[in-house]
Amino acid sequence: MDMAERLRLAREAAGYKSAAEAARAFGWNEVTYRAHENGLRGLKREAVDKYARALHVSPVWLWSGEGAPDKRNTVLVLGYVGAGAEVFTIDDHSKGDGLEEVELDFPVPYGSIALVVRGDSQYPIFEDGDLIGYHERSEDPTFLVGRMCIVRLLDGRTFLKRLRKGADPGLFTLTSANAPDIEDVPVEWAARYTFHIPSYAWRKAR
């Protein structure tokens, strides 16, 4: 299996049905990405790292085929996400900052980070203290309408909400299981959650 084939497999495993869909979701040049996936254009290391982060696979596996495509059992807890409560996340994870590093009982995608739920607006699906994982590469909110997402507003507040279209283009409504909607707000970024661990089940890495 060559690098182009591994790229295609990674894209399909990430849930994107076509090269065009993945390119639109991540803001890539569609012609360039399609050429990379079809093997018509060589891949530089910078592009491999970019695709690996976005598609949740190991860059070493994508580059060389060595090791597992997706295997990591620790995740950095970056801050808090509001499920009713208004909270602000920690932004400086690129420097290694965060609340703590947590050991998991299962592998998670490369580039995964996590937030702790604060509030009860999504009860009984999510409870206060639960751990929610997502990928560090956010997506265009338009492609996440109807999904439960980590959503950051322009004022820095970060919520765990279901994303709906707003009344006007560029605006979104954030809905909860048992709290009033946050209507017609601009969204800075959104990311689909990738794993959920109840508060009693996660532990700090040793």
**Domain residue limits, the chain:** 3-64, 74-204
User: C-alpha angle 98/201/190, rounded to 5°?
Assistant: 50
Q: What is the pLDDT of residues 6-55, one digit of tens each?
A: 999 888 877 788 999 999 989 999 999 999 999 998 889 899 989 988 88
Q: What is the pLDDT of residues 159-176, one digit of tens each?
A: 888 999 999 999 999 998
Residue 196: which H helix or E strand, with range? strand 187-197
State the pTM of this model.
0.57
6: its two tokens: 């591994």
Decide if pLDDT at 203 tops 70: no
What number is the average pLDDT over the span 139-144? Answer: 87
Domain 3-64 has CATH 3.40.50.2300: no
What number is the average pLDDT over the span 130-135? Answer: 87
CA-closest candidate to residue 15, choices 107, 81, 105, 109: 109
> The domain 74-204: what is its CATH number?
2.10.109.10
CA-closest candidate to residue 176, choices 136, 119, 113, 102: 119
Q: Answer whether 48's CB lies under 8 Å from 63's CB.
A: yes
Pairing mode, strands 74-82 and 112-118: parallel
Tally of helices (H runs) and strands (E runs) in the chain: 5, 11
What SS3 class is residue 151?
strand
Round to whole Å and give the CA distance between 3 and 34: 13
Round to whole Å and give the CA distance between 141 and 188: 9
